[in-house]
Amino acid sequence: MTPSRRRLTALAAATTLVLTATAGVAHAEVPPDSPEQIRNGDFSDGTSPWFSYGTDALAVTDGRLCTTVPGGLANLWDAGIGQDAVPLIAGAEYELSFDVSASPGSAVKAVLQLGSAPYTTYAEAGATATPSAVHVDKTFTAPADNPSAQLIFQVGGSADAQTICLDNVSLRGGEAAPPYEPNTGPRVRVNQVGYLPGGPKHATVVTDATDPLPWQLRSAAGTVVADGQSTPRGVDAASGQPVQTVDFSTFRTPGTGYTLTVDGETSHPFDISGALYDRLRADSLQFFYAQRSGTPIDGDLIGAAYARPAGHLGVAPNQGDTDVPCQAGVCDYRLDVRGGWYDAGDHGKYVVNGGIATYQLLNTFERTKTAETAAGGAGLGDATLRVPERGNQVPDVLDEARWELEFLLRMQVPAGQPLAGMVHHKIHDRNWTGLPLAPQDDPQPRELHPPSTAATLNLAAVAAQCARLYAPYDAAFAARCGSAAKTAYAAAKAHPAVYASAADGNGGGSYDDSNVTDEFYWAAAELWLTTGDQAYLTDVTASPLHTAEVFAAGGAFGWQSVAALGRLDLATVPSALPAADKTRVRASVTAAADRYLATLREQSYGLPLPGDAGSYVWGGNSNVVNNAIVLATAFDLTRDASYRDGAVQSADYLLGRNALNMSYVTGWGEQHARNQHSRIFAHQLDPNLPNPPAGSLAGGANAALQDPFAANLLAGCKPMFCYVDDINSYSTNEVAINWNSALAWLASFLADQGDAGAVPASRCAVTYTTHGSWSGGFTTQVTVRNTGPAAIDGWSVRWAFAGDQKVDTSWLAKVSQSGATVTAKNESYNAKIMPGASITFGLNGLTAGGPNPNPNLITLNGSACTLS
């Protein structure tokens, strides 16, 4: 779009500067029909995609882009207004023009440059801006190719504060971008990793054929092992493609290198195996170690390419996270907020995003206490991940989550300060930095941003989880978490409407949220589950969200919508919730799962997400996963295989069964994402740096195209095609901790399913009765009845305590405990349980005084028993 000159005729007194650049050619001439390379240069569409640093928020005033620049900045480049993804072609001729005003008056320089170190300048044009608009016009010849150059108006360096306004920004020249045609490979789209032997096996075929087509499944040797007819599906709304689907679920033979041939096209190869996802569980969790702040990354653990020194510990050029001041006017103290995870592609650390990511790692572990297929957490135990803490007798997933928990606790406002007990919303660089930039090389000052109610409630929720989950491993840390959770919740109730500013987005994302009723509900639920305190249950049941529909079609939950987290935990974590309320809560989970199943069956690519553009948003892949998590939870609650199959099938979309025929998980699949937006893993920009580690999930298709690179490249795309595997596209291709936490939860569930065969019928019933409780202890009796047709000769009964309970003494069984998991094995004299017969054993336990609910899952020889 060529910027409008709508106000030039009204600016008769304006100064016009015409500069002819040389940049390789003495007198560049730009044809009048040359294409426009600047987006929204007349600001008729608001401020997007323009950004600023070192200034106040951008705003459009009288059709101009204006901002205030503080006085006293030492250099022109200490503040700027810019646009990324400006394409330049070496040797092509360009005309850069703009109108600028400054009040009271200041020097301004426009610089076309490489948007990352070493910030090579391609062309520049300076002016002395006055309250009356100055028009600047410069021609030049581009000295280099760059499909994603950066235009920056440097506006710092004045002793006085300035109001700067831009208008009619234009860069004409070069060539119009050719239509982007992604390489989608074969028209047969499959899960490129593979399928579980007993699970669903579906594929999508892009074809103009309207009648069913024959399909053939071939082994790696080329032998046809199965065949059938496809199902016509018409035009898929999300992709705009005419498609048919193939269901080969009845084929269950494990093997490697299978291919599917339909309509003369052959798919990428895939495997059929019950062990497909074991490594994905580890890889997706390994991402968090790679994102750790404040510690060296050990190449022996994660790979030599990923080794780096500790970042943000105050070692030059870092200004560190160990002694961080607040933004001006926010506080007069400094905090040590080292540690935690870098949030996404930048070096910021955000409590509300860290909160949901930590919750999902903790919940991945907590699920092992209540889900039959989780095998008591064997896949998440100590020494299952490559983390420095392995071998410490603590499940590695808890070690990883603790790295973030310690950071979150440090973000709490200290006692004696205004807003004590509240939590700072975020900490990040004062100004945006470019790509690539290793954490240890970041020179920007770091700042604490104001506390918010949302951040405070995030800490309350995850610290409450921490208090119950870490109790068997580190009682002191659990107690510290519990105290911080209660303090944070009380502070939030005292300050219920302290919101992060949407305008506070310089140097890091704003993560604003002005509706925190869901955070209150989630935090109250977690605190009640941990403490059993009636006051928290009162807050849970008084919340309108307790009986509302909290599972949205486009995404069951996310950092800005967390009510479903409370609902899921109330449905799964053992508690004394009244039976009728528990039944209703669980029914709401299965009802949501039914809706996601219906959506999945409607979609030709088999994902639990509607096909409209509004459902394909920034980080939309995590919405696919989170909806699958609801399906998986419904399976854990009901043992209904249709929910499990829906969760399993949802993974197909992420791993290649999509319009782009691409796996969104680095290192997984024949054709996978490699160039996610990250300052750390920036191989595309610097061959000496690695790509993101295997198991990193890309944000995915985003129909809003909220970065200029994607907007320039993908304008008019159908929703599922609104993605590009390029480091410059942060709105479609970034990595983020809350996206990978979702993937880790689902990968752990998938790994637990084995071959995903038929769900076995229950062959036992258990009565678990706590006969007496006293200060510091309790007595429990367990009766197990054989409801199956055959005798049981040798038994092992297992369950997990919800909190700090510990077995002290036992009788009529050999009872042991590891962490929260209790295992009772037969004595020699009661090993056999005949059909219809029962055995009983008992124990005395110790507890610090928290709730002692009956377990939701008790297994006999690994199979779930009916609870009575």
Active site (catalytic) residues? 346, 677, 725, 734
Residue pair 425/454 in contact (Cβ under 8 Å)? The answer is yes
Q: Are strands 866-867 and 863-864 parallel, antiparallel or unpaired?
A: unpaired
Between CA 324 and CA 522 the distance in angstroms is 30
Cis-peptide into 692, omega within 30 deg = no
**Positive or negative: CA dihedral 357, 363, 368, 373:** negative
Using an 8 Å Cβ cutoff, are 51 and 65 in contact? Answer: no
Locus of tokens 């009956």: 854
Reduced to 3 states (helix: H, G, I; strand: E, B; else coil), residue 734 is strand
Q: Are strands 265-266 and 255-262 parallel, antiparallel or unpaired?
A: antiparallel
Could you please report the per-residue DSSP string of 231-291? EEEEE-TTT--EEEEEE-TT----EEEEEEEETTEEPPPEEE-TTTTHHHHHHHHHHHHHT
Query: Residue 753: is it exposed, middle or buried by C-beta count within 10 angstroms (0-12/13-18/19+)?
Result: buried
Residue 291 CB neighbour total at 10 angstroms? 28
Look-up of token digits 């990923």: 306
Instruction: Give the SS3 label for residue 406.
Output: helix
Residues 6+ apart with CB under 8 A from 814: 824, 825, 826, 827
**316: Cβ–Cβ under 8 A, 6 or more apart, which residues?**
none
Which pairing describes strands 814-818 and 866-867: parallel, antiparallel, or unpaired? unpaired
CA atoms within 13 A on the CB side of 818: 11
CA angle 384, 385, 386 (to 5 degrees): 135
C-alpha span between 262 and 230 (Å, rounded): 8
Judge whether 251 and 215 are in contact, CB under 8 Å: no
For residues 541 and 536, give the distance between their C-alpha atoms in angstroms, rounded to a whole number.
9
- Determine the Cα–Cα distance for residues 710 and 725; give it in Å rounded to an integer: 10
Question: Can you state the angle between helices 351-366 and 737-752, rounded to 10 degrees?
Answer: 10
**CA separation for the pair 455, 413 (Å, rounded):** 11
CA–CA distance, 563 with 568 (Å, rounded to integer): 9
Rg of the chain over all Cα atoms, to the nearest angstrom: 29
Across the chain, which distance is largest between two alpha carbons, in Å? 105
Provide the pairing of β-strand 814-818 with 446-448.
Answer: unpaired
The number of residues making up the chain comes to 868
Instruction: Give exposure, 139-148, as e/b (b: 16+ Cβ within 10 Å).
Output: bbbbbeebeb
